């Protein structure tokens, strides 16, 4: 599939949160720190990182749910106009084009709503008031995610986890978005459902040419859907490249550990300990240098003082590590 021009771009994006201040010492959490990425039309970008790495904050900022501290998010619409995305002055028409689905389908949709109403309401607010038109849009979205129409009369709480997540996807698709943030859409789901939902999203990406930021902490899940993968660690993108290269030739020690640590069907392993040369995350924020250096097995003098920039090592494959 050919990918078009950029649809979402972040330029030196920073999102900081201050915590404490009343009783404890004030501190700044740099949830997103100097992130510049481009997502192309029709592309799935996999954003992989552990909890607390800032991937959800980055996702929320790209659709205008979070005010950037510094830097910009730019959305290029299909007519070629560019819009700076900021919750303070985003318009309804642009909001429609940037959608999000959330991790937990049990809390992202009101369980006591009828399925039909859960879909009708956002359309109503978007200005679609004609009954026939509403019906048509809802049916089309249901077709896209493979839900039967007779569920429309049910209450949301009567749906299974997989059906709810499909409903969440349908609700986002109704708005005919250009860009979708899928925030850990399969994390809460069983192994049996995970594959089905990922395949759904893959199909939607292909049939609609929809750009997706696919957020996950599971690299193998990102691998099956993403064209490119970005690895995020404590607010920074530390590696970015084509999916195939990231999986076959991971460069950053953190990416390597992520691949190594992923469980495989391997009963021969039961008598051995896992080989992980990366230390467990502790709640210590490195004061200087590379953010990964307290856990890195290859740490050098330089890593403690200087922060490595994101550097292109092979075409399209970037890494932020002094080893390269």
Partner 1 sequence: MPPLLRVEGLKVYFHMPRGLVRAVDEVSIYLNKGEIIGIAGESGSGKSTLALGIMRLIMPPGFIEGGNIYFEDTEVLHLPEKVFNSEYRWKRIAMVFQGSMNGFTPVYKIRDQIKEVLEVHGYGGDPDQRVNELMKMVNLDPSIADRYPHELSGGQKQRAFIAMALALNPRVLIADEPTTALDVITQTHIINLLKQLRKELGISIIFITHDIALMSMITDRMYIMYAGRIVEHADAADIVRKPKHPYTKLLMEAVPDPSKEYIKGIPGFMPDLARLPPGCRFQTRCPFVMDICKREEPRLKRVENSEVACWLYG
> Which residues of the chain form contacts with partner 1 (CB under 8 A)?
50-51, 160-162, 190-199, 217-221, 223-224, 247, 257-259, 261-270, 273-274, 276, 278, 280-283
In the bound state with partner 1, the residue whose beta carbon lies nearer, of 53 and 62, is 53
Nearest 10 degrees: Cα torsion 161, 164, 166, 167: 180
In the bound state with partner 1, the residue whose beta carbon lies nearer, of 22 and 265, is 265
- Distance CA(316)–CA(245), nearest Å, equals 9
Q: Work out the end-to-end distance of the chain between its first and last CA atoms, rounded to an integer number of angstroms.
A: 31
| Cβ at position 95, least distance to partner 1 in Å | 32
In the bound state with partner 1, the residue whose beta carbon lies nearer, of 138 and 258, is 258
Give yes or no for a contact between 109 and 156, defined as CB atoms under 8 angstroms apart: yes
In the bound state with partner 1, the residue whose beta carbon lies nearer, of 67 and 224, is 224
| Cβ at position 118, least distance to partner 1 in Å | 20
| Cβ at position 161, least distance to partner 1 in Å | 8
- Distance CA(292)–CA(280), nearest Å, equals 11
Which residues on adjacent β-strands are paired with residue 233?
236
In the bound state with partner 1, the residue whose beta carbon lies nearer, of 8 and 221, is 221
And the tokens for 3? 């990918």
**What stretches of 81-229 show up as alpha helix (H) in DSSP?**
92-97, 115-125, 131-145, 161-173, 191-208, 219-225
Residue the block writes with tokens 């026939």: 132
Count how many Cα atoms sit within 13 Å of the Cα of residue 143 in the half-sphere of its side chain.
8
| Cβ at position 193, least distance to partner 1 in Å | 6
| Cβ at position 185, least distance to partner 1 in Å | 13
> Which residues in the chain belong to E strands, given as ranges?
6-19, 27-35, 38-40, 44-48, 70-76, 82-84, 98-101, 179-183, 211-216, 228-233, 236-242, 311-314, 317-319
- Distance CA(251)–CA(184), nearest Å, equals 24
Give the number of other Cβ atoms within 10 Å of residue 247's Cβ.
16
| Cβ at position 255, least distance to partner 1 in Å | 11
- Distance CA(299)–CA(308), nearest Å, equals 12
In the bound state with partner 1, the residue whose beta carbon lies nearer, of 87 and 220, is 220
| Cβ at position 271, least distance to partner 1 in Å | 8
Which of helix, strand or coil describes residue 306? Answer: coil
In the bound state with partner 1, the residue whose beta carbon lies nearer, of 195 and 316, is 195
Compute the Cα dihedral for 208, 209, 214, 220 and give only its sign.
positive
| Cβ at position 254, least distance to partner 1 in Å | 8
And the tokens for 119? 């879909």
In the bound state with partner 1, the residue whose beta carbon lies nearer, of 132 and 265, is 265
| Cβ at position 197, least distance to partner 1 in Å | 8
In the bound state with partner 1, the residue whose beta carbon lies nearer, of 18 and 277, is 277
């Amino acid at each position: 599939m050919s990918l078009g021009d950029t649809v979402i771009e972040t330029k030196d994006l920073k999102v900081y949160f201050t915590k404490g201040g009343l009783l404890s010492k004030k501190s700044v959490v740099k949830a997103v720190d100097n992130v510049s990425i481009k997502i192309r039309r029709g592309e799935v970008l996999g954003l992989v990182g552990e909890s607390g790495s800032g991937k959800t904050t980055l996702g929320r900022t790209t659709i205008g749910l979070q005010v950037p501290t510094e830097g910009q998010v730019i959305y290029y619409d299909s007519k070629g106009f560019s819009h700076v995305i900021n919750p303070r002055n985003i318009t309804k028409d642009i909001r429609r084009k940037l959608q999000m689905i959330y991790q937990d389908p049990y809390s992202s949709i009101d369980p006591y709503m009828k399925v039909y109403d859960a879909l009708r309401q956002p359309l109503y607010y978007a200005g679609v008031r004609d009954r026939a038109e509403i019906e048509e849009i809802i049916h089309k979205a249901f077709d896209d995610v493979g839900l039967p129409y007779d569920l429309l009369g049910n209450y949301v709480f009567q749906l299974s986890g997989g059906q709810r997540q499909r409903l969440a996807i349908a609700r986002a698709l109704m708005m005919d978005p250009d860009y979708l943030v899928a925030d850990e859409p399969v994390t809460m789901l069983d192994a049996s459902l995970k594959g089905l939902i990922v395949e759904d999203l893959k199909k939607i990406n292909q049939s609609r040419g929809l750009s997706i930021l696919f957020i996950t902490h599971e690299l193998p899940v990102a691998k099956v859907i993403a064209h490119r993968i970005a690895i995020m660690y404590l607010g920074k993108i530390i590696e970015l490249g084509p999916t195939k290269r990231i999986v076959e030739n991971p460069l950053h020690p953190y990416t390597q550990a992520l691949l190594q640590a992923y469980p495989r069907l391997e009963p021969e392993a039961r008598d051995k300990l896992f080989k992980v040369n990366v230390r467990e995350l502790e709640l210590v924020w490195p004061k200087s240098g590379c953010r990964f250096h307290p856990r890195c097995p290859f740490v050098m003098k330089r890593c403690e003082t200087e922060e490595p920039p994101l550097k292109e090592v092979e075409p399209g494959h970037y890494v932020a590590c002094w080893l390269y």
